[in-house]
Structures are given as structure tokens and as C-alpha cells.
Amino acid sequence: MSASLNGRRRVVITGLGAVTPLGNDVESSWQNLLAGESGAGPITHFDSSDFHVHFACELKEFDPAQWLDRKQARRMDRFAQIVVAAARQAEADSGIDIDKEGDRIGASVATGIGGLQSYQDCYDTLLQKGPTRVNPFAIPCIIPNMGAGWVSMELGTRGPLASQCTACAASNMAIGDGTDQIRLGRADIMLCGGTEAAINEVGIAGFGAMRALSRRNDDPKRASRPFDGERDGFVMGEAGGIVVLEELEHAKARGAKIYAEVAGYGLSSDATHVTEPDPTGENPARAMRNAFRDAGIDPAEVDYINAHGTSTPLGDASETRVIKMALGEESARKTPISSTKGATGHCLGAAGAIEAIFSLLAIRDGKLPPTINHEVEDPECDLDYIPNESRDADVRVAVSNSFGFGGHNASIVFKRLDD
């Protein structure tokens, strides 16, 4: 088959980079995920003793100085530091030459919240010391687009530059939008993904007030339990993930290794509620069907779904219905599904990026990551969630779902490149 599919340029993935609660690179994160490890533990970023929730999925021993000049790092919020680290990993993994081709290389980097720690620091300084003492870099640290901005500035990409801020669907949209930039001929390579660093007083207090967070303070590692009958909320995570997207013929010409093809991308909106999922399931199911149509696949061809699966009572039951509607009852029951948020927690705007990476590695290695902490059956969640242990499988087509507050729905289809 040629590089043109239905008259459009084909897009493949040639590089991966990640910093997650399971490891500060892709391979350690993946191996710990397959082993059923949890990234949860006591909060160390601040004193949480007065809060309802005392645990989260923090990064472990992440040092931005490994990836950034120390002076530059001080000008950046943590969410930007994390994604620059992931982008440098992805750049190295792909072998692209940004100095040579920067005009045709872009970046599409998402976040759900942006520089929340810098916002809090700015407000605290304003109250305690007055307006003249506010950090002059406060606004550039806070605004959500600066994850993308710093990736471009640090790596030297000079093509299209975009930032999505669509809650927990943001990273999937960043990858989908980057795919479209290449399909339309506006770029040959795009660095796409997302980042989040919201484990601070405002983040934990805000999500805690919504009662969105698990309160299993006595057992953090078993707190995130997607699709389990005793789930009580998600565990906050922080992470950054980047995938290098590349036009197929461009990748072949330079002898790049190819993880898979971005075969399809689908969107929809719930238009229902500020936080709760569409109770009918029809709208997120439409995003999945749109992705299948874009990819030119039948639902029965799906070998694995990396679910949004946040470990909330409403969300997981809703996604089970959504998958049945999108695939049909018979195919849904035959399709292995896992939520890797049991291990990573919910990394908000970064979730789709790291889950895309896990989906791609499932294709590469023929390994399905488990849904850890799945112990109690829920009659509303009655599909195959790959409970607790990874599984060998031949994965040709993988789907990654992301659904965000405000009704944002995004689904991506990855396909092994067989031709």
C-alpha cells in the first residue's frame, strides 16, 4: 500500500518519551506497569495533614536538571519541566534531526490545567508580600500553552505549534490534531502529547471538594481500582508523555523504526454536564465509532482497548456502556480492556499521552497491561478488564479512549504497520 490512504498522507509513530509515576522513562514505566506495580504513595510535595486525601501518584526522584539548564528550569512550572524531559527522550528515540528539518517539525502539547503550582505561588506571594514581589515569570509559568512553548523553544521545532486544554481528553486531541497537521501537509513530523503537575494544595483541595478523589488513606496502592465494585474515586497523578508522529514515506526514507500507524481519530461532545458523563453513553460511543470510521476498520478488528477508566463510580460504569455501544455487545465481550490508571493514577491532561504510549507498546511487545486492584465484581462493569496480571496477545489494532470534564470525548486507533 502506498503512503496515501484514501487520498491522504499516512502518519506513523517513530519515537516515544515519558516521565510517569512508574518511572522516569518509557521502558521502566512499561516494565513496572506490566509487573502490576502502583505509583501511589504519601504526598511529599506539601503537608497534606489538614486535607481529606493524603496520597497521590507522584513522580519518583525526577530531576529537571537532567534535561534542562538550571536557570531555564527556574523559569518554568513543573508541568513544563516534565514535558520537556519527555520530549527530549522522544527526540532521541526517534533519531530525528530537528536542527536540519525544524521548519517541517511541529509540536502539539496538551494540559488539562497548566501551571497550577505557579498560580498558587503567585497568589501566596501577592497576599503575603504584595504585588511588587510577584515573580515576573509568573504568567508565563501559569498559562497552559507554555508546555508546548517550552518544547518548541528547547528542542527548536519551528513548524506548527499548538496547545490543547480540554481536560482529560487533551492529550488524545493533541495527538489527533498533530496527525491532521501531517495529513494536511503542514508538517512532516509532530511532537505530540501532554503533561500535568497538579499535586499541590489547590489541586488536591479542589478535586477533593468535588469528592472525585479516593479517600483510601490507609491503603494508597490499592486506592485506584478501575471497574472494581468498591471503587470510590481516582488518585491524582502527574506525568508527561510525548510521541513523535511522522509521515510514513518520510520515516521510511530515513530508515526509522516504526511503532505503529495512527490509523484513526474520533471526537464528539456530550453537551450534558460539567463533570458527569453522558448518561446515555451515545456521545462518547460516537467518538469511538468516528475513530473506527476514520481508520477504516470494523469494531471486531479491535484487539485491545486502553480505557479512560478513572476509578470513579459513574465514569467506569458509563464507559462500559460506551464500549458495548461502540463495538456491539458481542465484540465488546471478546475484546480485552484495561485501565492503566490503576497503576499511574489519573494524570489528567497527560493521561492520554502516556496511555497512547502504553497502547503502542502493547502492539510492539504483544503484552496487554493489567487493570490492577480489580478484586470485586460490579454488575455494571462486566467486560474483560485484564484483572491484576498482564497477558500475552497478538495486538494489531489498539484503541485509546479519553473523556474529559465538560463533555470532551476523543478516541484514537493505532494499527500495526503490516504494509
Is 139 within a domain? yes
Q: Tell whether 280 and 246 lie within a shared domain.
A: no
- The active-site residue out of 250, 308, 374, 408 is 308
The whole model's pTM is what? 0.96
3-state secondary structure of 94: helix
Res 278: pLDDT: 81
Q: What pairing do the DSSP bridges indicate for beta strands 55-56 and 367-368?
A: unpaired
Is 3 within a domain? no
**Residue 165 bears catalytic tag:** no
Q: Examine the pLDDT at 3 and tell me if it is beyond 90.
A: no
- With contact defined as beta carbons under 8 Å apart, do 397 and 416 qualify? yes
Q: Tell whether 324 and 398 lie within a shared domain.
A: yes
Q: Tell whether 247 and 277 lie within a shared domain.
A: no
Res 281: pLDDT: 87
Q: Examine the pLDDT at 203 and tell me if it is beyond 80.
A: yes
Is 38 within a domain? yes
Q: Examine the pLDDT at 83 and tell me if it is beyond 90.
A: yes
Domain count, the chain: 2
Is 5 within a domain? no
Q: Tell whether 56 and 117 lie within a shared domain.
A: yes
- With contact defined as beta carbons under 8 Å apart, do 109 and 194 qualify? yes
Q: Tell whether 144 and 179 lie within a shared domain.
A: yes
**Residue 308 bears catalytic tag:** yes
- The active-site residue out of 168, 192, 347, 381 is 168
> If we measure between CA atoms, which residue out of 168, 338, 171, 193 comes closest to residue 270?
168
Q: Tell whether 209 and 330 lie within a shared domain.
A: no
Read off the CATH number of the domain in which 137 is found: 3.40.47.10
- With contact defined as beta carbons under 8 Å apart, do 33 and 97 qualify? no
The residue out of 199, 222, 253 marking a domain boundary is 253
* Model pLDDT for residues 245-298, shown as the tens digit of each residue: 999 999 999 999 999 999 999 999 998 888 788 888 899 999 999 999 999 999
Q: Tell whether 298 and 234 lie within a shared domain.
A: no
Range of the domain at 91: 11-253
**Residue 168 bears catalytic tag:** yes
Is 394 within a domain? yes
Res 2: pLDDT: 39
Q: Tell whether 383 and 408 lie within a shared domain.
A: yes
The residue out of 253, 283, 308 marking a domain boundary is 253
- In the predicted model, what is the mean pLDDT of the chain? 96
- Burial, 103: exposed, middle or buried (Cβ in 10 Å; 0-12, 13-18, 19+)? exposed
- The active-site residue out of 122, 165, 192, 346 is 346
The pLDDT > 70 percentage for the chain reads 98
Q: Tell whether 347 and 240 lie within a shared domain.
A: no
Res 280: pLDDT: 87
Residue whose cell numbers read 511503532: 259
